[in-house]
Structure 1
Amino acid sequence: MKSYTIDFQPLGQRGECREKESLLDCAHRLGVGISSICGGRGTCNTCRVKVISGTLSEPTDSELEALSAQELGDGWRLACQAIPSSDCQIIVPPESMSTSQRICVEGLEATVPPEPAVIAYHIRLTAPSLSDQQADTNRLLEALNEQYQLPCRHIDINVLRSLSPQIRDWNWECQAAVRDDEVIAVSPWPSQQLGLAVDLGTTTIAGYLVDLSSGQTLAVEGTMNPQIDYGEDIISRINYVVKRPNKRAVLQKLVVDKLNGLAANLCSEVGVDVEAIVEMVVVGNTAMHHLLLGLPVKQLALTPFVAAAGMAIDIKARELGIKIAPGAYVHLPPVVTGFVGSDHAAVLLASNTHQVEGLTVFLDIGTNTEISLVNGQGITTTSCASGPAFEGGHIKHGMRAARGAIERLRITGDVIDFQTIDEAPPLGICGSGVVDAVAQLYLSGIIDDGGRLIDKHPRVRMTGNQAEFLLVDQTKQDGHPEIVLTQKDIRELQLAKAAIRTGIQLLLETNGFTEEQLGQVVIAGSFGSYLDLSSAVTIGLLPPLPLNCFRQVGNAAGMGAKLALISLAKREEGQAATFRSRYIELATDPDFKKIFIETGHLGRYWIKNNRREMLENG
Structure 2
Amino acid sequence: MRRHEVVFQPSRVAARVESGATIAEAARTAGVPLEAPCAGAGACGKCVVQIRRGSHLETALACLARVESDLEVILPSLEMTPVQTVEAFLGAAQAPRWEGTGAEWGMALDLGTTTLVAALVNLATGRIAGRSSTLCPLVACGHDVVSRIRHARSHPRALRRMQRDLVCAVNMLSRRLGAEAGIETAAISRVVAAGNTTMQHVFLGLPVAGLGEYPYRVATLEACTMEASEVGLDVGPGALVTTFPAMSAWVGGDIVAGLVAIGADTIERPALFLDVGTNGEMVLLANGELIAASTAAGPCFEGMSIHSGMRAAEGAIQHVRIADDLVLDVVGGGSPRGLCGSGLLDLVAELRRAEIVSSRGRLAAPGSATGPAALASRLFEEDGRRRMRLDGDVLVTQGDIRQVQLAKAAIRAGVDVLAGEAAMQSAELRTVFVAGAFGTHARESSILGVGLLPDDARGKLAFVGNASLEGATRALRAKSLLDEAARIARTARVVDLAPTEAFPRAFRDAMSL
TM-score, structure 1 normalization: 0.75
Preserved CA contact (<8 Å) 1:109 1:559: no
Query: Please, which of 363, 369, 381 is the counterpart of residue 462 of structure 1?
Result: 381
Using the alignment, how far apart are the partners of 1:210 and 1:289 within structure 2?
21
Question: Which of 429, 433, 436 is the equivalent residue of 2:339?
Answer: 429
1:493 & 1:569 partners in 2: Cα distance? 40
One-letter amino acid of the structure 1 residue matched with residue 46 of structure 2: T
Verify the 8 A CA contact 1:461 1:469 in the aligned structure 2: yes
Q: 1:8-47 to 2 correspondence within 5 Å? A: 18-29=18-29, 33-47=33-47
Q: How big is the alpha-carbon RMSD for the aligned residues of Structure 1 and Structure 2?
A: 2.7
Bigger mean CA deviation after superposition, 27-36 or 589-598: 27-36
Query: How far does residue 438 in structure 1 lie from its aligned partner after superposition?
Result: 0.9
Aligned to 2:506: 595
After superposition, residues 194-213 of structure 1 pair within 5 angstroms as 194-213=105-124
- Structure 1 partner of 2:97: 114
Question: How much has 1:232 moved relative to structure 2?
Answer: 2.2
What code does the residue aligned with 2:285 have? Answer: V
Unaligned runs of 5+ in 2: 369-375
Q: CA deviation at 1:296?
A: 0.8
**Structure 1: distance between partners of 2:430 and 2:84:** 26
1:43–1:394 Cα contact (<8 Å) kept: no
Q: Percent identity?
A: 33
Mapped partners of 1:326, 1:11: distance in 2: 30
Q: 1:471 matched to which residue of 2? A: 390
Within 5 Å, which residues of 2 pair with 1:21-420?
Answer: 21-29=21-29, 33-48=33-48, 78-83=61-66, 98-107=78-87, 108-109=89-90, 111-116=94-99, 119-120=100-101, 192-413=103-324, 415-420=325-330
SS of equivalent to 1:435:
helix
CA contact (8 A) 1:105 1:222 kept: no
**Per-residue deviation, residues 372-401 of structure 1 (Å, max 9, x unmatched):** 000242100011111111111110111111
Q: Does the CA-based 8 Å contact 1:238-1:297 persist in structure 2?
A: yes
How big is each residue's C-alpha offset from its partner over 1:321-367, in whole Å with a ceiling of 9 and x where there is no partner? 11222112111221111111111001111111112223111001111
C-alpha separation between the residues in 2 aligned to 1:564 and 1:290? 19
Q: Could you tell me which amino acid in structure 1 is paired with residue 146 of structure 2?
A: I
Structure 1: unaligned runs, 5 residues or longer: 55-74, 121-190, 475-481, 603-618
Q: Does the alignment pair 1:450 with 2:450?
A: no
CA distance in 2, matches of 1:521, 1:535: 15
Q: Provide closer, same or farther for how the CA distance between residues 579 and 36 of structure 1 changes in structure 2, counting only shifts above 3 A.
A: same
Counterpart contact for 1:98–1:229, Cα < 8 Å? no
8 Å CA contact 2:106, 2:191 repeated in 1: yes
Equivalent pair of 2:83/2:131 in contact (CA under 8 Å):
no
Residues 516, 33 of structure 1: alpha-carbon distance in 2 compared, 3 angstrom cutoff: same
Query: d(CA) in 2 for partners of 1:8 and 1:224?
Result: 17
For 1:429, the aligned partner's letter is L
Matched, 1:510 2:421: yes
Equivalent-residue separation in structure 1 for 2:396 and 2:50 (angstroms): 21
CA displacement 1:263-304 (0-9 Å, x = unmatched): 233233333332322221111111111001111111112112
Counterparts in 2 of 1:318 and 1:6: CA distance versus 1, 3 Å: closer
Flag the 1:4–1:224 CA change in 2: closer, same or farther, 3 A: closer
Cα drift, residue 219 of structure 1: 2.5
Q: Give the superposition deviation at 1:546.
A: 5.2
- Conservation of the 8 A alpha-carbon contact between 2:319 and 2:330: yes
Contact 2:31/2:165 (8 A) holds in 1 = no
SS in 2 for 1:228: helix
Cα deviations by residue, 1:519-573 (Å, 9 ceiling, x for unpaired) = 2211011121111111111111121135420000111111111221222332211
Is the 2:33–2:138 Cα contact (8 Å) retained in structure 1? no
The answer to whether the 8 A contact 2:33-2:136 is kept is no
Name the CA shift for 1:84/1:323 in 2 (closer, same or farther; >3 Å): closer
8 Å contact from structure 1 (residues 105, 220) kept in 2:
no
C-alpha distance 446-5 of structure 1, shift in aligned 2 (>3 A): farther
Partners of 1:549 and 1:47 in 2: how far apart?
A: 40
Residue by residue over 1:234-253, the C-alpha shift from the partner in whole angstroms, topping out at 9 and shown as x without a partner, is: 11222221113312112211
Shift of the alpha carbon at 1:444? 1.3
Partners in 1 of 2:126 and 2:27 — Cα distance?
Answer: 43
Query: In terms of mean alpha carbon deviation, does 26-35 or 285-294 score higher?
Result: 26-35
Q: Secondary structure at the match of 2:456?
A: coil
| Matched AA of 1:424 | G
Mapped to 2, the partners of 1:500 and 1:224 lie a distance apart of 26
Q: Distance in 2 between matches of 1:315 and 1:31?
A: 25
Deviation (angstroms), 1:495: 0.8
Contact 1:381-1:581 within 8 A present in 2 as well: yes
- CA–CA distance in 2 between the matches of 1:51 and 1:527? 34
**Mapped contact 2:109–2:469 kept (Cα < 8 A):** yes
- Between the aligned partners of 1:114 and 1:409, the Cα distance in structure 2 is 42
Whether the aligned pair in 1 keeps the contact of 2:286 and 2:422 (CA below 8 Å) is no
**Alpha-carbon shift at residue 45 of structure 1 (Å):** 3.2
**Secondary structure of 1:432's match?**
helix
Residues 14 and 311 from structure 1, CA distance in 2 versus in 1: closer, same or farther, beyond 3 angstroms?
A: closer
Residue of structure 1 equivalent to 2:372: none
Aligned residues: 498
Give the corresponding residue for 1:560: 471
